[in-house]
Amino acid sequence: MNTEVGISLRDAIPFIPELVIICTGLIAMMLDLVVRKKGPVAAFVVFGTLVAGYAMCKLNGFNEPQSAFLNMFILDGYAGFFKLIFFINLILTVCISYRYMIIEKSSYGEYYSLLTFATAGMMVMASATDLITLYLGLELMALSTYILAGLMRNDRRSNEAALKYFFLGAFSSAFLLYGISLTYGMTGTTNLNEISATIQNLNIAGNPILFLGLIFIMTAFAFKIALAPFHMWAPDVYEGAPTSVTAFMSVGPKAAGFAVLGRVLFEAFGSMQVQWTNILIPLALLTMAVGSIVALSQTNIKRMLAYSSVAHASYMLLGVIAGTPAGLVSTINYLLIYTFMNIGAFAIVILLRSEGFQGQDLDDYRGLAKSNPLAAALMLVFMFSLTGIPPTAGFIGKFYVFMELINADKTYLAVIAVAFSAISAFFYLRVVMYMYMKDSDEPRTISCSPSMNVALAVTALMVIVLGIYPEPVLNYVKTVVFG
């Protein structure tokens, strides 16, 4: 037994972005005690995130992967790109939530700290090359988001959302642990690369217990990225949680779930690809069907967007199912695009929320084009993008995923996915129809703020730019992720 511990301070270098984010969260918590208004706290969190992003680019992990802590942690292009998505997610969420949390009378400073801690957890997940780090990152993210979901303490729906999220989240992480324990028992290691090597050396790819472990691990991730039939919590939690938190967790935990799913399946269980592809295909088809069809009957816009995000998870999964590095690149590209369009759509939902007016029902969107043409036009862009209509970014995302599926000889899946995405057009375009073709005589106030305007401008611009001229970003993803 090797008792020598070989961790030095040098190991902390690839970990600097996480350290910066964690310190930002801690200082934000302290700052909250000193200042009464929450503006400085929010601004500080944005500043800290920018510093972390700068530090990550300086470390240059994109070109030369650096591992640390006895190969339990790695900063490479794959992790780095996911971290960029998390930073974008965090900054946009802070921008859209400042005014909203005041309206909801839940403007606590802890809100911003918890957002940063959840982001730190996601970053650790994206960088984890060991099942132990993976588990710790996942729990840091999950525990922070449970609290965020229940932040509106006096709102019964928020209480219920936090409760449901907590119970199902804790249930799924127990499954993850059981899967880890079985995998550890069969391979004798928790390191992803060593697991892969052991599976090949001992030739145990067909071992039923190892397969059971893989199934348990995948079940836990299916919970996190809300794949049917493990999506039950998503609509309730998305509806009950504060809208800004919904925006945050419809992107962040999903992206983090895909980051670990890609790494675990490709790195550790690469030799069992046939088995996990056979599990993922029915899951993806079921998710697509549930997401697109159940969303048709929703009248609450947050609930509709929840089912829409369930459906989008299945399109992203198709890139993983393609089973090639190019397929994984198309998934990551889709995630980046999804970040902008989904946060943009939730930003409009937040825009409609004002004192004494919930603005969550489809009926509240009646005649928005007359009263607030700009807000309606932006919502139009986001809805078109979520549907996948060119020239918006959503089209590019879907296009590349489907192309990689066809390249991998899974054309039938691409055909089914196109059919379901045509069905989903109905509920996205219904929002557009309500805004542009129905009239309402109620006066409507919109809760604008400078930071909200910035977030809306950035998301709308990115959705259009990525839709018209996607090559630079696509090539960047390709080179960054796979050299």
Partner 1 sequence: MVPLSWYIILSAVLFCIGVFGFLARRNMIVMFISIELMLNAVNISLVAFSHYLQQVTGQILVFFVITVAAAEAAIGLAILIAYYKNNPTVKADDASLMKG
Residues that bind partner 1 (CB under 8 A): 1, 131-132, 135-136, 139, 143, 146-147, 150, 153-154, 156-157, 159-164, 166-167, 170-171, 174, 177-178, 180-182, 184-185, 188-190, 235-236, 239-240, 297-298, 303
Our CA angle for 55, 56, 58, nearest 5°, is 65
Q: What is the closest distance, in whole angstroms, from the C-beta atom of residue 112 to partner 1 in the complex? A: 18
By the 8 A CB rule, do 129 and 191 touch?
yes
Q: What is the closest distance, in whole angstroms, from the C-beta atom of residue 181 to partner 1 in the complex? A: 5
DSSP assignment letter at 13: S
Which long-range contacts link 414-422 to residues 24+ away (Cβ below 8 Å)?
A: 414/318, 416/285, 416/288, 417/288, 417/314, 417/315, 417/318, 420/288, 420/289, 420/291, 420/292, 420/311, 421/292, 421/311, 421/315, 421/387, 421/388
Rounded CA-CA distance 31/369 in Å is 41
Q: Does an H or E element contain 269, and which?
A: none
Q: What is the closest distance, in whole angstroms, from the C-beta atom of residue 191 to partner 1 in the complex? A: 9
Say how many CA atoms lie within 13 Å of 62 toward its Cβ: 17
Q: Where are the alpha helices (H) located in 188-300, listed in sequence order?
A: 192-202, 208-224, 233-240, 243-263, 273-294
Rounded CA-CA distance 469/463 in Å is 10
Looking at the Cβ atoms of 163 and 204, the one nearer to partner 1 is 163
Q: What is the closest distance, in whole angstroms, from the C-beta atom of residue 143 to partner 1 in the complex? A: 5
Write the CB contacts of 103 (distance below 8 Å, at least 6 apart in sequence): 353, 354, 355, 447
For tokens 């993922």, what's the residue?
A: 280
Looking at the Cβ atoms of 136 and 448, the one nearer to partner 1 is 136
Q: What is the closest distance, in whole angstroms, from the C-beta atom of residue 482 to partner 1 in the complex? A: 30
DSSP assignment letter at 244: H
Looking at the Cβ atoms of 148 and 376, the one nearer to partner 1 is 148
Spatial CA neighbour of 211 closest among 251, 175, 182: 182
Q: What is the closest distance, in whole angstroms, from the C-beta atom of residue 198 to partner 1 in the complex? A: 11
Rounded CA-CA distance 350/367 in Å is 17
Q: What is the closest distance, in whole angstroms, from the C-beta atom of residue 300 to partner 1 in the complex? A: 8
Looking at the Cβ atoms of 189 and 277, the one nearer to partner 1 is 189
Looking at the Cβ atoms of 37 and 157, the one nearer to partner 1 is 157
DSSP assignment letter at 68: E
Looking at the Cβ atoms of 36 and 156, the one nearer to partner 1 is 156
Q: What is the closest distance, in whole angstroms, from the C-beta atom of residue 246 to partner 1 in the complex? A: 13
Secondary structure class of 292 (helix, strand, coil):
helix
Looking at the Cβ atoms of 201 and 297, the one nearer to partner 1 is 297
Q: Which residues pair with 75 in a beta bridge?
A: 66
Looking at the Cβ atoms of 41 and 182, the one nearer to partner 1 is 182
Q: What is the closest distance, in whole angstroms, from the C-beta atom of residue 194 to partner 1 in the complex? A: 10
Looking at the Cβ atoms of 175 and 334, the one nearer to partner 1 is 175
Rounded CA-CA distance 135/263 in Å is 14
Looking at the Cβ atoms of 3 and 8, the one nearer to partner 1 is 3
Q: What is the closest distance, in whole angstroms, from the C-beta atom of residue 348 to partner 1 in the complex? A: 21
